[in-house]
Structure 1
Amino acid sequence: MIDALEQAEAAVAACFDAAAWAASEPDLVAALDATHRLEQRLVAVKLTLVRELDGRGTATAQGASCTAVWLRDRLRLGVGAARRLVELAATLDTGPAGVRDALAGGLVDVEQVRVIAETVETVHTAAGPQAADKAVGVLVDWAAQFDAAGLRKLGTRILDHVAPEVAEAATEAAVRAQESRAARDRHVTISEQPDGRLRLTGILDIEAAALLRAAIDPLTAPTGPDDTRTPGQRRHDALADVCRLALSGGDLPESGGDRPQLVVTTTYDVLRQHLTRGTLDTGGQLSADTVRRLACDARILPAVLGGNGLVLDVGRQRRLVTGPLRRALVLRDRGCAFPGCDRPPRWCDAHHIHHWADGGPTSLDNAVLLCGHHHRHLHHSDWVVRLGGDGHPEFIPPAWLDPEQVPRRNHYHRRN
């Protein structure tokens, strides 16, 4: 095998050095087809080797935790690509022989193999081995005309061709399974960037995807011939418009149901000077132009700060920690005040330092922002919270953690 692979490598190197510009167009097309077939055959060999190495436990014998990790280091692959390689090798080893033969013959590529293997497994479960063998032949034939995405769509109706007697029931079961997988895998990740922007990633289930498209598609069309925004920028702006519409409706929960609120922080000495920028309660900086634009359709809530950053005035108090009092708390603590926590204000509860049930008042000097985890932790541990001499919260650790019980503060939310 080594000799054959070395000869193949030398032959490929010679092809690379050949002058492609001198070949005719039909010869170039034929060479491209041959290269693709060779590539798939090499993949089949590679997967065979991966499967054998995995079965022998070579990776763990050489100190790696698993074959995927070993492949990542050995072949300099991403860990995701290495895992997929191991999974596909196992699929080819345990799946129908026709799938492996098709890959080895250069008739299908790796992504098509993945789709065929998954589809054949579904057919085997629904209709038995004979129908699965028939499905391999049908799918391999289709692979000559359709890419992996097209093959997957056609595969949803494969039972109509190989086992029509069970197709309807199996299709219904497949739809339910797909919905279950979609519900399990649904997620949205919001990652804050250093400059205050957010990176938004995730997977929506089918219903949520349809709702999102229905909501933003009407807003993504170019506004005219002078609209130079890219499609991605138009989708971004459409999503922002949908959020504005939702906020203006007043039907959201209390934490988000008001019109967008801009809290402009300033010290008393500069209160009467011209506005130069605005600071959101998330820490982001807004230009004066943006502040003025938002002010056209939002309530401006002036919050006067003392020299040490304490809130001096933010409107009238209420019995609950909501409205102006909640905003004052957000301005002071910036987020969860527990040492080392980076949770933003919208994820936090207002905790009474002197418990309300014990007669503690609902006021700024008796409240602290805590995320759900640290709120529960504070109630069920020996940590103690108090306001320091400068009016900001500090936490005294239990003696078993720090015999000196030196007060600690959250420095994550500090801003210049």
Structure 2
Amino acid sequence: MTESTATAIRASDEYAAQLAEFSDEYASICRRRAALDAEESRLLARSAAYADALADTVVPAIYPPAERRALSRRSTCAMLAMATRASEQTVRHATDDAEQLVNEAPTVLAALEAGKISSRHARTITDQLRDVPTAGRASFLAEVLPMAERLTATRLKKRAKDLRERLHPESITARAIRSEADRRVEFEPASDGMAWVHLFTTAPIAQGIIERLEAAAAESRKAGDTRTCGQLQADALAALALAGVTPDDVASNPVLPHPIEVQEHIKPTVQITVPALSMAGVSDAPATLDGYGPIDPDTAARIAVNAPSFTRILVQPETGALLSVGRGQYRVPADLQRAVRLRDSTCRAPGCGRRARACDLDHSVAWHDGGTTDVGNLACLCRHHHRMKHLPGWNLDHQPGGVLDWTTPDGKHHRTAPDPAPF
């Protein structure tokens, strides 16, 4: 063996040893994380069981039994969410998943605890398990768990779905009819003035929509449109929903409207906060669209032109203090309500993002206890948190400047303050 060959072998061995150290340590971290996820599931399941057991004790008897149980659970989830700066919905979903894992899939929980599978694998299994009737669950778990221990979570998802379909005793027709009741549309804000609209509907309708959008985009491309296929499909859907463009229209005039043209058909009830200098045309500071966030001034102006009920709020450019509130077509009967909703923007419970316009105006100090109806004693609370603050163990103190001090049943304190005026 030459010296150069021996040196190369040593280098190769050191390289392999270092990589082995990396992979072993990474695998160890993943196993420990899986064990912690299993521990979290056990804790969340225990918290839910405890909330159920004490529901009749901590929730007033004026509520029906089922509602007492739901309120007790939501109170517990809200407390956990505030303690971790998580959204209450996230904790509720995690608790639901934990209960199913602990109570209905103990073998999966054990595999997670031992680090044989990840939390993604466990979630994939429990997601499919929800749709398997009790009679078929043992067979499903017995077959799917060995798959989980050797497959990636992505591949497991397909195999588990196929397995559930094979073992399910109920016809797919009956399940499709039941699932159709869950159809809905959801709005998800994105960055830079963009957003997602999600449609959950039957597969044939979804496929039909996609094919129609693809066809409209293809026709427009043939006519010389330089927009990408993705852009054209998005513009075709917007034109169909907002401008009344039909497939026949596309066939006769394949050039699809541009988003700016489609915006002219928007006639919402909007609330837009506009910096005074932007309104005067000497600044390009963003406007704020209620329920979304920053949008460019030109878009704000185009939408406002067509809005039947448009509230324009001017803010002082240096301090952000409110300068004026437009009164042309507002529907809120009292300026005080408007001022509180503008100040709070969302429900003022920690972690809750429900928009202020959909919230109750709550007296922090109750009216019958001497509380006053003024901006210093009012806050926006969604109906859930409005009711929850009256449960035993909860307390809410209103401080100057709209600051709210919350006390949760575990004795911890959480503070929320209004967002500063935008820009």
Q: TM-score, normalised by structure 1?
A: 0.46
**Whose radius of gyration is greater, 1 or 2?**
1
Q: TM-score, normalised by structure 2?
A: 0.46
